[in-house]
Each structure stands twice: as structure tokens, then as C-alpha cells.
Chain A
Amino acid sequence: MEEKEKILEVSHLKKYFKTGRGTLKAVDDVSFFIRRGETLGIVGESGCGKTTCGRTCIGILGRTDGHVLYKGKDVHSLRGKERKEFTKEVQIIFQDPYSSLDPKMKVGDIIAEGLKAHHMCKSREEEQARVKELLETVGLNAEHATRYVHEFSGGQRQRIGIARALAVEPEFIVCDEPISALDVSIQAQIVNLLIRLQKEKGLTYLFIAHDLAMVKHISDRVAVMYLGNIVEITQASALYANPMHPYTQALLSAIPIPDPEVEEKKQRIRLEGELPSPVDPPEGCRFINRCRFASERCRKERPELLEMEPGHLVACHYCEEMKKGTVG
């Protein structure tokens, strides 16, 4: 199969924040790419930098170091017309459906905002027709255009947020925890909608979430983040069967499976210790203080993200040596 072009390429991206206690290294040397039409999932626990990473990738936040190339162009140095074009092609869907929609605007105006900003409709009628079409695409009714957002439930608001992003006909969408704030029965609605839209419109997603099962379900490839680093990138289907990084293994074993018998048999890998502060992370491997396999080398040297198997990248000295056959 022919490999599709890389729509987004991130290399050695760093994003630091200055805080009262020192420099917070939210994203520290992260590299990955996304091909056109695929979904890359980023998972990790709170504070691992996944949201910051997503926002830096599309230029909402400035970078500290490194590059983000969208279709070969550096996202952070786009200006003028190119910048405007970028805002049409790249969109974001937010976690909190309550704060992501302007409470003082009507639903129709919210969705039409992008259409207006990019002069995509010639007349008021065309604009209204387009808003109606978008509402129906996301499973709402045309009459809802004249309502205010506080009249809608969480799941419905998330649909409005999706319609707003779709209005400008983007190619690439960052989904920043789009389902974490929703109830279980609503989550599936939104995920199914996102999958359907991807099929219909050939969208590319960067899907950020902490729910590993959902990320695995929606993504083609999954990146696992820990304390500002990506520790493992792999095909979603292989994630559960063959996790390599010790953190990924612990994370997977902690996720409850809705099946009493499977749960009964499951062996859990406990993580000792606490998550270090991103203001003062360990040198060397970030996971060192909680890792079962930590060695002297891990203390000194930060492991690189290396390809262990085709399409399966892991940043771990232990895995490297396992592969070479020098350990166990």
C-alpha cells in the first residue's frame, strides 16, 4: 500500500512555561508525524502535556524550541495570507462544551463565524443554507440555529462545536479531549459522529484523550505521553497485545475492563512512587523513579524514540537492550 503524505510533522518540539517555581517543561522534545486521513491518538495522564502539545502543534501556543511543519510549512512562522489559509485548514474541538461556545451568541452565528471570517458565502441566504446543512450533518435540526447554547445539553453542545469546526471545511482537526466531559451514553454518539465525518470528508485527526480504550477505538496509531515525552508510538491494534514501554504496560494493566472474569484474572503492574513535578523532572529517562527496569544508564541518558518493530517506536533503554538480546 502506498503511504500517504505526512500532513503534520513535529520535530523536537519543546514548550516551556515560566512559573513562580521555575520553568515548567510541559512538552519536552516531542517528535511525531501524522499522515493525511489518519487519526493519531495521544494518551497520557493529567499533567503529561498532551493538551499543551496539541495546542502548540496548531499555533495556539507559541513554541519554545523545535518545529511543527504543516504541509511542509512552519506553523509558527506563518504570516498574513498564509496564516489565514492555515486557520481555514486546521481546526480544534474542545473538551469543555460549556466554555467553548460563546453564551451570548446564537448557534447559527457561532457556526457562521468561520464562514464570515473567510468570506465563504456570497449572500446571507447561502450562509443560512450552509449553517442548516452543517447542523444536519452533526445531527441537529435547522431550527436550532436561532437558539442560544445554554439551552442545549453537553452532547448537543459538543455537536455544535464540531459544526463550527467543520464550517470552514478543514483538513486537519485537533480533538482536545472531546468526550471526557460527557456521559458514557453520549460519548459513543460523539465518537461515532467523528468517525463518520472522517470517512465522509477524509479528515485527519489528532485525538487527545486520557481514556485509552476510546483512543484505541478511534485511532490508527497511538502515542503514549509521560511527563512531556512521548514514550511509545504504535499501531492502535497492536497496543494492547504488545505494549513495550514499562509505563504503557502499567497504564494498560490499570484500565478496568467491563468483564468480571477478565478482571479477576488480570495481573496488575503497580506503579510505585509519585509522578515527578514537570518543573523539576528527572534527568535521563523521565520514568526512572517508577520503573521496574531502571538502570544506571537510564539515570544518565535520555532514551531516544527508536523503531523496535515496523511502525512501533519506543523510548526505553531496557527495550533496546531486550531487542539486542543483551538482557533477559
Chain B
Amino acid sequence: MEKFLEVKNLRVSYHSYAGEVQSVRGVSFSIDAGQSVAIVGESGCGKSVTAKTIMGLIQTPPGEIKEGSQILFEGRDILSQTPEQWQEYRGKDCAIIFQDALAALNPTMTIGNQVAEKLLIHTSMSRAEAWEEAGRLLKLVGIPNPEKRMKQYPHEFSGGQRQRIMIAIALACQPRLLIADEPTTALDVTIQADIIDLLKDIQKEFGMAVIMITHDLGIVANIAKKIIVMYAGKVVETGSSQDIFYRPRHPYTKALLRAVPRLDTEEEQSLESIEGTPPNMIDPPAGCAFSTRCAQCMRICQKSEPPMFEFEDGHTAQCWLYHPMAAQGNEE
């Protein structure tokens, strides 16, 4: 059976003043229809660039999608689409919401018009129908008395409400894939929790696939069925939420989980810090990208790219530590 979305060996670079930044260096993963997936990683790990490539939002130049990269959406290669096909795809198949909702909304247009606009472009609805549908969508995302608020402008809404409006726009035309690029990073925790709940609810209701991009492992614990951990432009570990939180395999995932304090314990914890800094993506290290900071680094890690190992069904990690020969030198 063909996969809903399949990313194969995606490589994306940006040409900057200082040189070629290799943002994404051979990322592969797949998503089933209706699945909710999280891509987790620190800033500069290439998670946002991956999402933008799926949406066709990479500006070339300065960006460059390398030869050999492939993204299959329901079996169709989207990277070779014409601009018209992209337009159609972005309207009906796939939608994205961004971190900064204020920047993504047009400040001089009413909210109602912004939601209705998308419906008018991509469906055969009349203006009145589109307006009514827009009201329904805004109500769905939890904007109180939408009839009145549809006539207001973005600056009259709070940050959390603006993000809700972005979700309403994304939901128009009922896409089958929703990408949420750090949707709650700019929001306070109480509002963050509301938005996450909303995303969960609409995913259940519409049955769409959701890709959640975030740097915070905590917020995906309850929302994602599958978690993809990225580091320095590569996928280091993939698995179910249970796999990642209870049986992490890659040293980076393990360290990341131990680097954040837990709120729900009373005992003293000591935080394990990951020494060093993420590598410079203009000149990434040979072998494993995490080798420069890994406490269990072996010689081979600095020489050759680590192979992929499967632990449970669908739980994979790229790390030399699980090679049979490594067991001699390491207890684990």
C-alpha cells in the first residue's frame, strides 16, 4: 500500500553570505493518512525547513532543494509540480500554520474576509456561502460570537485567538495534511495548552494527518502518535510516543529528556546538560553529527555515518552504539 506522505532523502541548502548552509541533509520518513506526527529538534536542526519544503515554501534562491530529493504525497511527486499544481495542492491538500500568527495575517483585512478568501479561491462557493462557512469555522476553533468578530481586524485579537484564526484558515477547504510549525512557541503556557487541545480535537473530528513541528518534547507527549527527532539536519530517532519517552535509544534523545526538569516530582533532580553547541551547518562534522557532543562517542562515530537500527516495530535510531561490535567497548 502506498504511503500518504513519504519524504525520501530530502536535502535542502541555503546559500548565505557566509557559505552554503546545509539545513536538511538526507531526511526520510513517512506518514499514514490521519496520523499525527511530531518533528522535534532544536533551532537550526532543519525541522522547519523540512516542513516548508513539504508546503513548497522554499524560496529558490537562496534555498536549494538538492537533486535526488523526493516527496511523495499520495504517491504523487510534489517537488516536480508546476506552480499551478502547487497552488491547488496548498489550497486543498495541505495547509500550514506558523509560529507568528500576527505576521501571517493581513493587518488591513477583516478576519472574516481572510477566512472567506481562501474558500472563494479554492471552491465554487458564492460570497455569501463563503462568509457563512467562515463563521462556522471560526466558531469551530473557539472564537466566541464569530458573527461580530468576523468584521474585526487581526490587531483586535489576542495572540491565542490569532492562532485560532490561523487554524480556521488552515481548516478551510478541509486539507488532508495540516502542518503546525511551532504553533505555540510565542504563546503563554495556559494558551499553549488550549491551542494543543484544539489541534487534538480538530484532528479527531476531521481525521486529517497533522505534522507538529516543535522544540519542546513535553507538548507532543500527548498529541503525537509518532515522533521524529532531528539533529543537525538529520533524523536521529523515530518511534511512537511510548518508544521515545520510555525507551529512548539515541544518546541525543536520552540527553534531551534528561536536560529538562520535571514539574511533577518532589525530589531533587540534577539536570544533565549536553556539553558543547550544535554544529555549524556550513561545515557539518563527518560521521555522526552528534559525535561532537556525545558522551559515548566512539572513533567510528567521527568517521562514518551511523547505520539505522530497528528496535521495536517502527522504532529506529541511527547510532553506532547498537552495532554488535560496539558492545565490547561499551556496557550498553
Residues of A with C-beta under 8 A to B262: 213, 257-259
Cα of A191 to Cα of B255 in the assembled complex, Å = 15
Q: Is the CB of A217 within 8 A of B189?
A: no
Stretch at the interface among A107-115, A182-190, A300-308: A182-190
Q: Is the CB of B189 within 8 A of A274?
A: no
Is B132 an interface residue, CB under 8 A from the partner? no
Q: Is the CB of B272 within 8 A of A188?
A: yes
Residues of A with C-beta under 8 A to B197: 268
Is A24 an interface residue, CB under 8 A from the partner? no
Q: Is the CB of B192 within 8 A of A153?
A: no
Q: Is the CB of A184 within 8 A of B271?
A: no
Name the prevailing secondary structure of the A interface residues.
Answer: helix
Cα of A21 to Cα of B257 in the assembled complex, Å = 45
Query: Chain A 56-82, CB within 8 Å of chain B: the 1/0 string?
Result: 000000000000000000000000000
Q: Is the CB of B189 within 8 A of A45?
A: yes
Given A184-B259, A213-B263, verify A258-B217 contact (CB < 8 Å): yes
Closest CB-CB distance, B291 to chain A, in whole Å?
Answer: 15
Cα of A140 to Cα of B269 in the assembled complex, Å = 25
Q: Is the CB of A258 within 8 A of B189?
A: no
Is B218 an interface residue, CB under 8 A from the partner? yes
Q: Is the CB of A258 within 8 A of B274?
A: no
Is B266 an interface residue, CB under 8 A from the partner? yes
Is A137 an interface residue, CB under 8 A from the partner? no
Q: Is the CB of B193 within 8 A of A186?
A: no
Residues of B with C-beta under 8 A to A183: 42-43, 215, 278
Closest CB-CB distance, B40 to chain A, in whole Å?
Answer: 10
Cross-interface CB contact of B261 among A155, A213, A262, A263, cutoff 8 Å = A213
Number of residues from B at the complex interface, CB < 8 A: 44
Is B241 an interface residue, CB under 8 A from the partner? yes
Residues of B with C-beta under 8 A to A262: 221, 264
Residues of A with C-beta under 8 A to B189: 45, 210, 212, 251, 254-255
Most buried by B among A191, A241, A260: A260
Cα of A265 to Cα of B42 in the assembled complex, Å = 28
Q: Is the CB of B222 within 8 A of A256?
A: yes
Residues of B with C-beta under 8 A to A213: 260-263
Q: Is the CB of A258 within 8 A of B259?
A: no
Residues of B with C-beta under 8 A to A237: 266
Most buried by B among A183, A192, A270, A271: A183
Q: Is the CB of A46 within 8 A of B188?
A: yes
Query: Chain A 176-217, CB within 8 Å of chain B: the 1/0 string?
Result: 000000011111110110000000000000000010111011
Residues of B with C-beta under 8 A to A155: 277
Residues of B with C-beta under 8 A to A264: 222
Residues of A with C-beta under 8 A to B260: 184, 187-188, 213-214, 258
Is A291 an interface residue, CB under 8 A from the partner? no
Query: Chain A 231-269, CB within 8 Å of chain B: the 1/0 string?
Result: 000000100110000000011111111111011100010
Is A156 an interface residue, CB under 8 A from the partner? yes
Is A294 an interface residue, CB under 8 A from the partner? no
Cα of A49 to Cα of B221 in the assembled complex, Å = 31
Residues of B with C-beta under 8 A to A184: 42, 215-217, 256, 259-260
Residues of B with C-beta under 8 A to A7: none
Is B124 an interface residue, CB under 8 A from the partner? no
Is A275 an interface residue, CB under 8 A from the partner? yes
Cα of A241 to Cα of B263 in the assembled complex, Å = 10
Most buried by B among A46, A187, A210, A258: A258
Residues of A with C-beta under 8 A to B158: 274-275
Cα of A296 to Cα of B183 in the assembled complex, Å = 38
Cα of A45 to Cα of B187 in the assembled complex, Å = 9
Cα of A241 to Cα of B188 in the assembled complex, Å = 22
Most buried by A among B255, B261, B272: B261
Residues of B with C-beta under 8 A to A153: 277-278
Closest CB-CB distance, B290 to chain A, in whole Å?
Answer: 10
Closest CB-CB distance, A224 to chain B, in whole Å?
Answer: 12
Residues of B with C-beta under 8 A to A187: 259-260
Q: Is the CB of B261 within 8 A of A256?
A: no
Cross-interface CB contact of B271 among A217, A255, A268, cutoff 8 Å = A217
Q: Is the CB of B274 within 8 A of A188?
A: yes
Given A184-B216, A264-B222, verify A156-B245 contact (CB < 8 Å): no
Residues of B with C-beta under 8 A to A258: 217-218, 221, 245, 257, 260, 262
Give residues of chain A (75-99) contacting chain B, Cβ–Cβ below 8 Å: none
Query: Chain B 202-224, CB within 8 Å of chain A: the 1/0 string?
Result: 00000000000001111101100
Most buried by A among B43, B246, B270, B271: B271
Q: Is the CB of B263 within 8 A of A259?
A: no
Nearest to A237 among chain B residues (CB) is B266
Residues of A with C-beta under 8 A to B255: 185
Most buried by A among B193, B217, B246, B274: B193
Residues of A with C-beta under 8 A to B256: 184-185
Cα of A141 to Cα of B266 in the assembled complex, Å = 37
Is B190 an interface residue, CB under 8 A from the partner? yes
Residues of B with C-beta under 8 A to A156: 277
Nearest to A47 among chain B residues (CB) is B188
Further pairs besides A183-B43, A250-B190: 6, Cβ < 8 Å: A46-B188, A184-B42, A254-B192, A256-B196, A257-B218, A258-B217
**Chain B residues in the interface with A (C-beta under 8 A):** 42-43, 158, 161, 188-190, 192-194, 196-197, 215-219, 221-222, 241-242, 245-246, 255-257, 259-266, 269-275, 277-278, 293
List 5 contacting pairs A-B, 8 Å CB cutoff, sorted by A: A187-B259, A213-B262, A257-B221, A260-B246, A263-B222
Closest 9 CB pairs of A and B: A217-B261, A256-B218, A263-B222, A45-B188, A188-B273, A254-B193, A188-B259, A185-B274, A189-B273
